[in-house]
Amino acid sequence: MESTILQDNFILRPENLLFVIAAVSSAAMLLWPLISRKAVREIDTLVAIQLINYQSALVLDVRDDSEYATGHLPNSTHIPAEKMEERWHEIEKFKDQPIVVIYESGVRSGRASSILNKNGFTKVYSIMGGIGSWRRANLPIVKR
């Protein structure tokens, strides 16, 4: 009798196991940003412009030197992600202001933002799509 009850249980049916695994995985992926220590919020270009224009956000370009030379946001500060650990103090005076991080790929942005968070920067934002989304929106790029 007990085995019949277990076999009739929805979760224990083999044909439902895949759905249960998918549901648990989906829930974990949805909750991950809330429980991870990575406090970086992704924003689109419109929100970035609002932060820059109305809240005096610092634009921090974490791409390497050659990528930065191909074009960057006006008035951006350039600190390559690989050097963020030793150079974050250069922007310490901006701790209480929003910081908009621009990158080529998300891995470097996350690493640089994590270093900033670890050192007390609380308003760190990353532009979704990096410099590519900025360019696709036909927003200003300067070369020096």
Task: Determine, yes or no, domain membership for 62.
Answer: yes
Answer yes or no: do 104 and 131 share one domain. Answer: yes
Listing DSSP states for 84-140 in one string gives HHHHGGGGGGGTTS-EEEE-SSHHHHHHHHHHHHHTT---EEEETTHHHHHHHTT--
pTM: 0.72
Answer yes or no: do 75 and 57 share one domain. Answer: yes
Its domain, for residue 20, covers 2-35
40-97: pLDDT as tens digits: 789 999 999 999 999 999 999 999 999 999 999 999 999 999 999 999 999 999 999 9
10-26: pLDDT as tens digits: 556 667 777 778 778 88
Task: Determine, yes or no, domain membership for 144.
Answer: no
| pLDDT value of residue 144 | 73
